[in-house]
Amino acid sequence: MDYIVRPADKKDYQGLVDLFKSNPKTFIAYSDNNLLSEMLEKIPEILENPLYFTLVTLIDNEVTGAFITKEFEFQPCWTWGYWINKPGKLNSIWLEHGFEMMRSLSDQLFDEMETKRKLTRFFWSYPQQPDQTGIRTAGNAERWLASNVGIKFMPRARNYIYFDDCTIQAGTFPKYPYQKAIVGNKIWPMDIKIRMGVLNNTQGENNVG
């Protein structure tokens, strides 16, 4: 079984459509058909707008995962968006190649955002409950990175110091434009936490956990 992790391009349009439709839930198994429709409509922009940087995982030439990030238009930082997996598709290859796949994703992501674009801050949002779905947020990834396994798989994320930005209360809209962009310009029925990572140029201790 062959796999590859690479930046998405226009040829991946239908693959992303199929991927999104295969797992139409977001956060803690909360179904939101409107969000799915919005995500499907955004695929051309995700593939064409240079502010986006999306990595896809392909197994036997099928798009089975996507990691979507976006540079802010008016600030020198980026937001960690969705990490979407096709249910069951990665299980068969994860035990044998999971380490290599995550290291490749990590290196390509930080090479692009940190090295090429010179962005040393990033934001993400996540619900205040555990995620039970295949659409994962960076909050869950942060907890994963804090573990010994995470350090092994994505060590470059350990070069960042992490801070709380704010908590958006359930049923309310964020006050500031950058916060609105981070949460998808939506009102969510659960509290949403926003966090920020800043590159620690001293390479000293950080506070991921």
Overall number of domains in the chain: 1
Q: Say if 100 falls within a structural domain.
A: yes
Is residue 150 one of the residues assigned to a domain?
yes
136 domain-assigned: yes
Answer yes or no: is 204 within a domain.
no
Domain assignment present for 96: yes
Residue 106 backbone zone (phi > 0: left; psi -120 to 50: alpha; other: beta): alpha
User: Sorting pLDDT into bands at 50, 70 and 90, what band is 136?
Assistant: very low
- Strand pairing class (121-127; 78-85): parallel
Confidence of residue 165 (pLDDT cuts 50, 70, 90): very high
Q: What is the mean pLDDT of the segment spanning 141-168?
A: 69
Instruction: Kindly state whether residue 207 falls inside one of the protein's structural domains.
Output: no
Instruction: Give yes or no for a contact between 8 and 46, defined as CB atoms under 8 angstroms apart.
Output: yes
State pLDDT tens for residues 176-209.
988 988 888 888 888 888 989 999 876 544 444 4
pLDDT at 90 over 70: no
Residue 189 sits in a domain whose CATH number is 3.40.630.30
How many other C-beta atoms can be found within 10 angstroms of the C-beta atom of residue 35? Answer: 19
pLDDT at residue 35 in the model: 75
In a domain? residue 16? yes
Give the residue among 157, 177, 144, 162 at the shortest CA–CA distance from 75.
177
Domain annotation covers residue 209:
no
Q: What is the pLDDT of residue 156?
A: 81
Please provide the average confidence, as pLDDT, over all residues in the chain.
80
- Name, in order, each residue with C-beta under 8 angstroms of 168's C-beta and a sequence gap of 6 or more: 125, 174, 179, 183, 188, 191, 192, 193, 194
Residue range(s) defining the domain that contains residue 147: 3-199
